[in-house]
Structures are given as structure tokens and as C-alpha cells.
Amino acid sequence: MLKTALSQYDILEIPGDKSNPEINKYFAILGETWADDSVSWCSAFINWVAKVSGYEYTDKLDARSWLTVGEHITNPETGDIAVLWRESKDSWKGHVGIFLRKDNNNIWLLGGNQNNMVKAQPYPASRVLGYRRLRET
């Protein structure tokens, strides 16, 4: 999965009315042909990565749906899935990415829709809702 995700590094949203066809393919693999890069696409990206890499996936656009697949783990390794809350722990909103590493009070994720692109960046470890280890299909 990590190799597949890295193959998309630096894919960027297109501002305005146009949409990046690379991001559209993340939605299309889920049958979501109505969506474009103006829609939150972190979960679409991880679904695309997991599906084309031969791992289980949620087939859903909400980031918190990733809390329902794979095995719940507490000590993630590079390549596991991390699910974060956005706005508040009680909100339906979230973010999902591929865990890379932890340093100090942050975790580093490789994911889509991180500053409108596929990239690696740190997030506060305090925002983690859970870690998941996906199984091959």
C-alpha cells in the first residue's frame, strides 16, 4: 500500500471549476462519479490505495468508516491506517491516512487531501481515534 500511495505523491487539487483527473479516479473506483476534488477526498484516496493494492477497504467517503475495517491495534507500524477526529471527537468529521511514524507529540501520515494534495505531514497524536491494520483480500 505504501508503494501505491507514494506513486501519487504531490497529486494536487486544481483550483476553480476544473478537477484533477487523478483525484477523480479515487472517487470513480468507489462508483462515486459525481464527486470531484472539491469534495473531501482523504477516504477516497485511502480506499483507492487499499483496493488497487489488494487490501480490504471501506468503500465509503467518510474518514471514520476506517474504524470498522481491519484489526484494531494500539502500536502502529509504518503502513497501518490512522483515523483522526476533526473539529471535535464527537463530530462526524475526521481524517484518514497511512501511518509513517511518531515523533514527540505528532504522528506523520501519508494521505490525500492533506493541504489539498497527496503528501506526508504531521498531525497531533492527541487527535487519533484509532489505528487499524488492514488484511489482504
Taking only the tens place, the pLDDT of each residue in 7-50 is 999 999 998 889 999 999 999 999 998 999 999 999 999 999 99
User: What pLDDT, on the 0 to 100 scale, is given for residue 16?
Assistant: 86
From the options 3.90.1720.10, 3.40.50.1110, 3.30.365.10, 3.90.700.10, give the CATH code of 2-133: 3.90.1720.10
Give, in order, the Cα–Cα distances in Å from 11 to each of 3, 22, 96, 111.
Answer: 15, 7, 17, 11
Taking only the tens place, the pLDDT of each residue in 45-70 is 999 999 999 999 999 999 999 999 99
Using a cut of 0.85, tell me whether the model's pTM lies above it.
yes
CA–CA distance, 59 with 90 (Å, rounded to integer): 22
